[in-house]
Amino acid sequence: MSAAEFRKKFEAEWSLIGAPMPDSLDWKSVYEAKPLGRNLLRNPAPFGLSKDTPPPEPELHDVPIRGPPRFQPDGDYTGWTTSTEVLPYDNSGIPPGVVICELPRYSWFSMEQVVDLKAEGLWEEMLDEFQPEIVIQDWYEESQLHEFIYQLHVKLLGADKSTVISEHTVNPTEDCSIYSHTWKEVSPGCYSLQLISRCFMHFSVLSCRCRMCSPAMDLV
């Protein structure tokens, strides 16, 4: 199949009437990359879960598990940069002289990823002039651990991957486990996106609980 045929097929499948389609592009590679309508994040489900797959029931042990705190949940974090912010112990509300046997430990676990839109098969004229919608979606498990148990921060970046063109932050408090946001128009020059998803975690010597996330980012 010729480059012109791949271009025509790509244009027809996505109804890209009026979109800039320069002859200089490798249309076979663009078509095979399928940059539109798919999740552009690498390894979008590092915990092995999704919004359509409920988390398994926690395993109960006859003898409580004891050991050092675990501030990072089990998972495959290929493609992600992870970090942990351990919060200080909260001694408020404890009367003077009370003997403390155990206090829970809380932390924020963060996952970060940068997506290069041109590396995913898009081109500058498409992003600057046609401007496909950018859709970000994530989900979190409801919890009573804290007022905020989930945070999402997305930055639309310029060609240097550091200039911030637009950004969006959410700290939901409502009992809603799925969140999404759409950019319908983006200023020219946005060629990369940075996503940071944060989950509030609780650890004690008796239990280890975390909030599961499975983000998605696509263009339509």
pLDDT digits (tens, 9 = 90+) for 39-53: 888 888 887 766 666
The pLDDT confidence band at residue 117, using thresholds 50, 70 and 90, is very high
Q: Which range is least confidently modeled, 35-44, 78-87, 204-213?
A: 204-213
- pLDDT of 213 reads 45
The DSSP 8-state label assigned to residue 88 in this structure reads P
Domains belonging to the chain, first-starting first, are 1-33 (no CATH), 37-219 (2.60.120.260)
The DSSP 8-state label assigned to residue 208 in this structure reads E
Q: How many residues does the chain have?
A: 220
- pLDDT of 157 reads 94
Helix (H/G/I), strand (E/B), else coil: 136? strand
Mean pLDDT value across residues 13-36: 91
Q: Which residues touch 34 (CB under 8 Å, ≥6 apart)?
A: 121
Mean pLDDT value across residues 130-144: 75
What Cα–Cα distance (Å) separates residue 192 from each residue in 48, 119, 121, 144, 216? 26, 9, 12, 35, 15
The pLDDT confidence band at residue 210, using thresholds 50, 70 and 90, is very low
The DSSP 8-state label assigned to residue 53 in this structure reads B
DSSP string, 75-94: S--TT-EEEEEEPPP--TTP
- pLDDT of 127 reads 92
161: left (phi over 0), alpha (psi -120 to 50) or beta: left
pLDDT tops 50 at residue 208: no
Task: Decide: 47 and 73 in contact? Cβ < 8 Å.
Answer: yes
**Cα 123 to the center of its chain, rounded Å:** 23
pLDDT tops 60 at residue 196: yes
Mean pLDDT value across residues 6-15: 91
- pLDDT of 61 reads 58
- pLDDT of 162 reads 92
Task: Decide: 141 and 57 in contact? Cβ < 8 Å.
Answer: no
